[in-house]
Structure 1
């Protein structure tokens, strides 16, 4: 930590000053968090229990759902105090799972590129070992990104005040409270978080431009199927990457819109990803129906035997 740190806890002011609004929002987003956990858990269980969902795309999707399920989306909107250590833990976990999600989406884009542009070499290029390495590298890269953000913040001196005009411990609000020159740290934050989001976004856009160009020579049915699988990924990319680019690819300042952007980034992608990838994917929906049909029939057999 810094040489002088008189702050042992922070006060999160939340989204609204009104206690009634704070409580209403807390209840609403608690429901959202529950739906997020259940939805992503359903995707993970379906992929691992199904005999048909063994393609690399579903392997990466299960990792994406795991990151979304662990994302700290339950730490929302109720006015409360949080210890210094708890604040740093919240900061670390948000950037760890958020960063991992970005790297997993990049790996998924590579998978789609190979599947569509190099279909004859797909099974060779995207073997189990390479998929495991890409997924593992995504988690490691997310950890390295997050530990850098946390170490940069935890060593700053905080002398007071300790009120964070937000519902979440993030880098920019904490830099604003530090009683030291944070210009260099702010630049590193932009280089770390902002550039990761921007570079990943550019890579993903380029990969999908190449994919779309390659589809011109395909049949209409081939184009429809390829666009269906890519469409889900493009929607997720926009949901996940646009808010971090707004938040971090600028100087270390806080804007009035930051709360809403952070709220959107924390709540919506983890909540919507299971819907995006299941409602637009017939294979996943079919696998879910089979799993529940089997479980239902097994439950009926057990009930009949009990009679």
Structure 2
């Protein structure tokens, strides 16, 4: 498992599963010859997208950034359509660290689309129960409301199975929430109306988790937003704002979906100056 130390915070990437989605949808109006130079594509025009939660350990507390795609949460049709070649295996990842899902204090949900929220619940004795029974689950108020009352478009990604078993654990915020000194969740909108990012600062050390307004390193350009975004113009403005902010501070940018990089640090000009590559393993079914 890859790790990154940023000030007093330690980040560890866990195994949350993998999907393969249409590259055109993931890069919106960007022409294929351009985005394929930035991110590999297969013969089905799909790109590999991890769904790997990040264990964030800081000040004696254990946070999890998003929850993975879970296990046994998809139909055969969904497995085929979403290119699911590997489901979550958080238990094994945590066991390697001497931990279990009961040791997670707080789950930070940037948003509640199925590829981020399916890991919140699991099957036990024929019913769905909370995967993280001791944790608070934090998300924006807007996101939580839409999760429970989706519209015609969002009903395909906000699933009742992902919120019903955990509703008693959910705590919401409006604009931003300070979790610990230097650690905040900030509502941005864009990808979804309730989408949030996570920002950590400790002196001159900083990371920014942009979640799905910059899901991979290939989406660095502020104008390169997803066709899946509900409010793409908001995504553009928020990405530009937080990229400028991070460039000035030489911040690390961390990824949940990137199949090639876990984190990248840029200078004031947006040039890569440091990286944490993902260790790629051959998939065994």
Give the structure with the larger helix fraction: 1
Higher RCO structure (Cα 8 Å, ≥6 apart):
1
Q: Max radius of gyration: which structure?
A: 1
* Coarse TM-score class (shorter-chain normalised): under 0.3
Give the structure with the larger strand fraction: 2
